[in-house]
Structure 1
Amino acid sequence: MWRLALRNALAHRARLALTLIAVILGVTFVTGSLVLTDTSQRLLDDQFRTATAGVDLTVRDAAAFDSAMGVEVERDPLPPTVVDQIRTVPGVATASPVVRGSGLLSTDKTAGGKAIVPSGSSLLASWEPAPVGAFTLRAGRPPAADDEIVIDAATAEGHHIALGDTITVQAERTAGLRVVGLAGFGGAAGLPGSTVGLVNLPTAQRLLGLGDGVTEVAVIAAEDIDPQQLQNRVAAALGTEYAVAASRDIAAASADAAKTQVAYLQLMLLALAAAALLVGAFLIANTFSIVITQRTREIAVLRAAGATGGQVLRSVLGEAFLVGITASIAGVGLGVATAAWLRSLAGAFGITLPDGGLIVAPRTVIIAFLVGIGVTIVSAIGPARRAATVAPVEAMRLSSASAATGGRARTVIGWIMTGLGAAGLTAVIAGPRSSVGLIAPVGAAAISVIVGLVLLGPAVTPTLARLIGRPLDAAGVPGRLARESAARAPRRTAATALALAIGLALISFMTVLATSIKASVASSYKEVISADYVIESARNEMLGGLSHHVHHHVSELAEVAVASRLRYGHWKDGEATRALTAVDPATLPEVASPRMVAGGLNALSGGGIVLAESVARQRHLAVGDSLPMTFSLTGTQRIPVVGLMLDRDAHALSTDYLISLDTFSENYREHVDASVFVKIANGVSDVAAKKAINGVLADYPTAQLRDQAAAVAGRTLMIDQVLGMVTALLMLTILIAALGITNTLALSIMERTREIGLLRAVGMTGGQMRWMIRGEAVLIAALAIVLGVGMGIAFAAGTVAALGSAIEAPLVLPVGRLLIIVTVAALAGLLAGLLPARRAARLDVLTAIAAS
């Protein structure tokens, strides 16, 4: 039977070709996702290991935690006495002071230069020779004088900077420095998405405003000393005020923090890969179902010759196995190439990933083969079982038409599942807003609807096809025949349409949900924020990235009445990490109008915290209670609750937790602002105010003056980036589904060869035949559009309602984008019918009539 499976697969290779392509695309997606994330994680590990390769221990100021939400926390600088103290510890061979911080590079202004603003960090550090320093000279020499700098070779090449050129470095202080060297990082020309400036220690301290302090101390153990033993000695000598850690542990922790974004990307890519495979599974099952139906006489002969049902089952599954393994081999190869494309795609949508050689782990290959073979075999089980359970005599008498609509039990279960899912979604949408959210019930309801439609499809497809296909009657006889043809094969039509419908549902869901969230953000921001302008970092950094000098200079302008700043910070809530917003309670009411439920905003001046109403309800807190919060700098503090704010208004200020700037300064080392809200003075025109503010911002290249529309766009930029990337990737599911339409129609033409010959014999022209097949393809696409877009909108409506108080906005339907989705799907259906229509029109009439 295995030899028979191989012969059947080769004999019907044309019928299985498009199925093979669908599986290849799904495996390619899975492989590419795993290769990309494995490569990014390995490169991050290598990057941080390289940074600490020659150092045994690193001494820093103590902190309660090292990073939060993928961002390293800042620490207080170390006094120079600590360096001397470390050097006296027995077993220390070298103790080198290290300074690093943020310093923006600008090319020579006298030559019309401009700021170099990378997508990542702008690193300014003290030059340290190997083995302490991770950077190695590629040209020139190390910086010796206070006016000299070494920059990374990648930045020099990208911005045409040569040895001897003068560049400006802007940190806490600004200075013009002469480039005396170009450095590389390991085998790379620089750090991915970053600029690097290396100066001598005194210059780094001066530019970063550290006085004689240092960021950390790099310690190298003597040859005969165990690093763990030395770590214990240094820790005992310094006490608990300082953290002494193995450099390899710090490298691993830093890499783990940087991998946070990569982990989110991997989850998203694998979810989309699963969607692509699900759509492909419909195509596989449909193809095998049609092929088995067309081979009923062949199967009957096998049964009559003594083949058992089990042998027939194994034969069909053997064909599926051959398709799966062939597709997996091709998919793994294409997946490696696709990983590079996915990295470029992520970069195009603002997700920067490290660049380097691709890594294909054995696990990736194993998973790809398991997925490719597993999905193909599982999808073919249903058709294989039907083939194995048909009696020989019955199979001899069966025609090859596929008009089955499914059993009564299947239909009843389908109605029940669909009804339960629809009822669940309706209950969430029509029910009261929940502050906790009902996402899980919405997901369960969505799954119930999809499963119900899969079971119910064959039963309702004839009615839907005749109803939705009525416009085809305008095309005359070919249109009516297309409608009836789709209705006569409900199982085939339903499976093909549902494959496309799932892809359309996902795209519609993401589009409607993203639009609704953006509308909510814009609405709440405009309601709460009354400032004329907001100044923010053009890079939209998580913690702000706006120099505190900006607020100082802007607030001194005569054209500005009020300048109120915000800062963001992270804190530990048990094992979870949360964000908070720091505000100035004295000036915030002049640029915003947040509504309080209890307490008052001015009470923040006493060192308390204001919570969003839903958070207080979840935690059972009221004004007068206290909230334990762990800060990296000061450890666990109990902060008194002094007020409760409407959720919508708190979200306009970005988080559910608000403290004062004074409280922030007591518990955080970071001193960068996230936003500066500006209210212009009475009698000052917008033109004059913008000119004055932009004049101040000229010295701060990353600071950007925005009106309300631009500020909202900055806050929703990530939503647009994710939506754009997800939509681009989901188009793969549309492609697979379109292949399904092509495959189904191509196979149905083989099935209907005699019928096509008779139609041509009674006078149907080749052009009419082409229109009939194309009309059937468009009808299948129309069925998918109605089901898919309808499901997508319903699921989005349920999700918006389930988010409760987090999204206090009505469902927003982006009609323009939805029309684009509908148009693309309709065109995909039309294009999918071109090849089958051409083949049907070119069939020889006499040969077709003679076909059995």
Structure 2
Amino acid sequence: MWRVTLRTTLARRARLALTLLAVVLGVTFATGSLILTDTSGRLLDDQFRTATAGVDLTVRDAVAFDSAMGVEVTRDPLPAKLPERIAAVPGVASVRPQVRGQGLLEVDGTAVVPSGPSVLASWVPPPLGAFTIRSGRPPAADDEVVIDEDTARAHRIGLGDTVTVRATDTGRLRVVGLAGFGARGGLPNSTIALVTLPSAQRLLRLGSTVSEVAVVAAPGVAPEELRDRISVELGAGYEVTPSRDIAAAGAAAARDQLGWLQLVLLALAAAALLVGAFLIANTFSIVITQRTRELALLRAAGATGGQVLRSVLGEALLVGLAASTAGLGLGVAAATGIRNLAGAFGVPLPEGGLVLTARTVLVAFAVGVVVTVGSAVGPARRAAAVAPVAALRDATAARTGRLRVVAGALAAVAALAATTAVLAAGAPVPLLGVAALGAVGGLALLGPAITPILVRLIGRPLAAAGVTGRLANESAARTPRRTAATALALALGLALISFMAVLGTSVKSSVRQSYAEVITADHVVESARNEMLGGLSPAVYDRVSRLPEVAVASRLRYGHWRDGDATQALTAVDPTTLPRVTSLHFTAGNLAALDGGGIVLAEHVARDRGLAVGDELPMTFSRTGTRSLPVVGLLRDGDARALSTDYLISLDTFARLYSEEMDASVLIRTADGTGRAAAERAIKAALAETPTAQLRDQAAAVAGRTQMIDQVLGLVTVLLMLAVLIALLGITNTLALSITERTAEIGLLRAVGMTRRQLRWMIRGEAVLVAALASVLGILLGVGFAAATVRALGRDAPTVLAVPAGRLLLVLAVALAAGLLAGLLPARRAARLDVLAAIGTP
């Protein structure tokens, strides 16, 4: 039987070719995602390991936690005398004080603004420093700087050139050296400026303090033992950490920022494989139906049902192994492509050699084989049930069993019940995911029963076009199981695209509406880089607020805090000036009460936590540890959204709890009698010294807040097209296989007068009809669950449902056009059949 299986598979390799391609694409996506995430993790580990090379211990100010939401916390500087105390500890071979901060480079008056940080640091010579001089020499005087090779090459900076470094203070420095970072020419998506220690302290206004102290242990002294000695000497106010732990923590924080991308990629890979599974099951089902007589003859010749079952599963196994091998090879190219695609959508990933692990290889083969064999189990069981007597009669179309209809109805009812529980009873929002799976399962089971009705309804315009349209309509309705499975594969991809489009548009519209209702400022100044915690120097506020054209300027700052194991964000505001540039609505308490050191909560937070004005909220801050802040006000949820967080404190409270000094936004109301154009000219002139500060109107400010949504939506939509491509292959494959099954029918149609052109249009019409059915089901399913998600999210903050009709119509048009293209090859094949030979086909 195994020889029969191999010969049968090779004899029908053309029939399985598109199925093989679908599995290859799914495995390629899955392995490419794993390779990309493994590579990014390895590169980040190497990057942070290089940054701490040669250092045994690092002494820093103690904090309650290192990072939050992928951002490392800012620590207080260390006293100038601390390095001397550390050097005096027995077992210390050497110490090196270091200063690190943000310093924007300007070349010939033009700011160099990378997507990542602009690093300003004091030069540390090897082996303690991560940077090595590639050309020139290290900085020796306070007016000298070393920059990274990558930046120098990109902006044509040479030795002897003068650049401007803008930190807290500004300096014009002469380039005396070009440095590399490990084996690289610099840090990814960053600029590096290395100066002397006094120069770094001056530019960052640190006085004689330092950011951290690097420590090297004496020969024979274990770093762990030395850490304990230094900790005893310095006390609990300082943190003494092995360099490997700092490297691991830094890499983990950086990976946290990419964690969402890994989840998205794996989810999309799963979607692509699910769509491929429908195609596989459909293909094997059609092939088994066409081979009924052959299988019956095998049974008549003595083959058992188990042998037939193993034979069909063996075919699936061969397809799965071949597809996994090809998919694994293509996964390397896919990883590079996804990385480039992510960069094009503003999500930069570390550059470097790709990493292929044994786990990825195992996953590739497991996914390819399990999906293929698992999808073929149902058709294989039907093949095993073929009786020997079936060789004496024609194959009949499979009918939809009553049990299948009942199971499908129960799944649909369960999906409706879960959705109702979320919307009406306040059940957790993730339950909608379970409801979506139930809806898909219900459609898969009910598809054969409802497809004839839907096909005839959707196909009315096609049927009205003439006889070829009516024949296409009836052909699709006559094989409901095949049509339903083919359409559902495409519907899944279109449903995901529609869901993302509606959800993304709704969130953006809600942010825009909340911002417009709450923010009454005439202008907003924000960082062009949209940093998570801001990126505006306090000097921006100082300069803008002093302008005669400005009546009031109010600044906002963002910070992170720990809420148990979770991380939350908060906004710091000025209670005096904020009411003059916003329209806030309190349900209890007031904004002025923040001056006493309390906190204002969004309504839904207070409701979920059971808090009221006068209660206290325990919060853990990196700098001060756990503090309990009194609740002094409750703010309407939509107003809190406009201010970007559900927690508000005063700027004075922020200064006591945080080391960060960067502003996120400056809201400006112009003075009475000042024209808009005059105010803009004055503000832009005040911002000239801070190139990354950007003057925005409300539309631009909202765009900055929703930029991440646009990036994710665009990236996900492009990647989802792979699932749609697999589904379109399913239409081509199904029609191509059905041509073989319908050879006699096609010959008869040609014999009674149908032209080749009419036959081609009949097959294409059937493909378009399947695409139309998939489009209707997919868009309705996607929009429906997006609407339910938006409404559920509205429990916490008002969320407006916004349906992008233009985008959905474009999706529909593209799907129909793609369906037409999918029918080209099967139509051509059908038209080329010999009429007499076709009529004589049994």
TM-score calculated relative to the size of structure 2: 0.99
Q: Distance in 2 between matches of 1:658 and 1:729?
A: 38
What is the one-letter code of the residue matched to 2:799? Answer: A
Query: In structure 2, what is the Cα distance between the partners aligned to 1:582 and 1:621?
Result: 20
Give the alignment of 1:432-447 within 5 angstroms: 438-447=428-437
Residue 179 of structure 1 corresponds to which residue in structure 2?
Answer: 175
* Residue of structure 1 equivalent to 2:561: 571
Are 1:330 and 2:326 an aligned pair? yes
Residue deviations 1:803-852 (CA, integer Å, cap 9, x gap): 13334133211001001110111111000000000110111111111111
The answer to whether structure 1 residue 27 and structure 2 residue 21 are counterparts is: no
Q: CA deviation at 1:617?
A: 1.2
What is aligned with 1:411? 405
Q: d(CA) in 2 for partners of 1:847 and 1:614?
A: 73
Could you tell me which residue of structure 1 aligns to residue 299 of structure 2? Answer: 303
Structure 1 position 513, deviation (Å): 0.7
Whole-angstrom distance in 1 between the partners of 2:327 and 2:725: 16
1:540 lines up with 2:530 in the alignment: yes
- Establish whether residue 726 from structure 1 lines up as the match of residue 726 from structure 2: no
Q: Structure 1 residue 380 and structure 2 residue 355: aligned?
A: no
Matched length = 842
* Pairwise CA RMSD: 1.0
Q: Could you tell me whether the CA contact under 8 Å between 2:641 and 2:797 is conserved in 1?
A: no
Is residue 133 of structure 1 aligned with residue 123 of structure 2? Answer: no
- Alignment match of 2:476 (pick from 486, 490, 502): 486
Aligned equivalents of 1:229, 1:825: Cα separation in 2: 66
Match of 1:212 in 2: 208
For residue 428 of structure 1, report the CA deviation from its aligned partner.
4.6
Q: Does 1:613 align with 2:603?
A: yes
2:785 aligns with: 795
1:105 aligns with 105
Matching of residues 666-681 of structure 1 within 5 Å = 666-681=656-671
**Aligned residues of 1:544 and 1:672 also touching (Cα < 8 A):** yes
Q: Structure 1 counterpart of 2:525, which letter?
A: I
User: Quick check: 1:4 aligned with 2:4?
Assistant: yes
Cα distance in structure 1, aligned partners of 2:234 and 2:413 = 68
Q: Deviations over 1:656-699 (max 9, x none)?
A: 10000000000100000000001011111110000000111111
1:410-559 mapped onto 2 (5 Å cutoff): 410-425=404-419, 428-429=422-423, 431=424, 438-559=428-549
Q: Which of the residues 736, 755, 770 maps onto 1:780?
A: 770
Contact kept? 1:164, 1:178, Cα under 8 Å: yes
What is the CA deviation profile of residues 522-547 of structure 1, one whole-angstrom value per residue up to 9, with x for unaligned ones?
11111111001111111100000111
The 8 Å contact of residues 536 and 663 in structure 2, kept in 1 or not, is answered as yes
Q: Deviations over 1:119-165 (max 9, x none)?
A: 00000000010111100011000000111000000000000101111
Letter in 2 for 1:464: L
> Is contact 1:74-1:670 (8 Å) kept?
yes
1:203 aligns with 199
Q: Are the counterparts in 1 of residues 30 and 266 from structure 2 also a CA contact under 8 Å?
A: yes
User: Aligned partners of 2:796, 2:270: CA distance in 1, in Å?
Assistant: 28
Distance across 1 between alignment mates of 2:334 and 2:797: 36
Distance in 2 (CA, whole Å) between partners of 1:795 and 1:315 is 41
Conserved in 2, the CA contact under 8 Å of 1:153 and 1:184?
yes
Q: Partner of 1:348 in structure 2?
A: 344
Q: Please give the secondary structure, in 1, of the residue aligned with 2:75.
A: coil
Q: Tell me the equivalent position of 2:218.
A: 222
Shift of the alpha carbon at 1:438?
3.3
Deviation of 1:472 (Å) = 1.0
1:162 aligns with 2:155: no
Task: Kindly provide the CA deviation profile for residues 603-641 of structure 1, in whole angstroms up to 9, marking residues without a partner as x.
Answer: 001100001111111111111111111111111111111
Task: Pick one of 626, 629, 635 that aligns with 2:625.
Answer: 635
Give percent identity, aligned residues only.
69
* SS of alignment partner, residue 439 of structure 1: coil
Paired with 1:2 and 1:64, the residues of 2 have a C-alpha distance of 64
- The answer on whether the counterparts of 1:404 and 1:458 sit within 8 Å (CA) in structure 2 is no
1:354-393 map, 5 Å: 354-393=350-389
The corresponding residue for 1:250 is 246
Does structure 2 retain, via aligned residues, the 8 Å contact 1:647–1:805? no
| Alpha-carbon distance between aligned partners in 2 of 1:444 and 1:455, rounded to the nearest angstrom | 17
Residue aligned with 2:802, SS: coil
Of 807-816 and 274-283, more deviation after overlay is shown by 807-816
Amino acid at match of 2:803: L
Would the aligned equivalents of 1:108 and 1:165 in 2 still touch at CA under 8 Å? no
Give 1:423 shift: 4.7
SS of the counterpart of 2:81?
A: helix
In structure 1, the residue corresponding to 2:430 is in which secondary structure?
A: helix
Contact 1:405/1:459 (CA < 8 Å) preserved in 2? no
Amino acid at match of 1:654: S
Matched residue type, 1:99: V
Residue 426 of structure 1, CA deviation: 5.2
Distance, in Å, in 2 between the alignment partners of 1:608 and 1:187 is 50
Q: Secondary structure at the match of 2:654?
A: helix
Task: List aligned pairs for 1:646-725, cutoff 5 A.
Answer: 646-725=636-715
Give the distance between the partners of 2:668 and 2:724, measured in 1 at CA: 47
Q: Distance between the aligned counterparts of 1:398 and 1:246, measured in 2? A: 77
Q: Secondary structure at the residue paired with 1:232?
A: helix
CA deviations 1:148-189 (Å, max 9, x no partner) are 000000000000101111000000100100000000000000
Given candidates 257, 264, 280, the residue that maps to 1:284 is: 280
Shift of 1:404: 2.4
C-alpha deviations, 1:391-426, integer Å up to 9, x for none?
111353232x5x323101111221222233235435
Which string of whole-angstrom CA distances, capped at 9 and with x for unpartnered residues, describes residues 708-764 of structure 1? 011111111111100000000000011000000000000000000011011001100
Distance 1:224 1:447 in 2: 61
Name structure 2 gaps, 5 residues minimum: none
**Contact 1:144/1:200 (8 A) holds in 2:** yes
Q: 143, 147, 163: which one pairs with 2:143? A: 147
Task: Pick one of 306, 317, 323 that aligns with 2:313.
Answer: 317
Aligned to 2:725: 735
TM-score by length of 1: 0.98
- Deviation per residue, 1:556-585 (Å, 9 max, x gap): 000001100000000111111110000000
User: Within 1, Cα distance between the matches of 2:264 and 2:377?
Assistant: 29
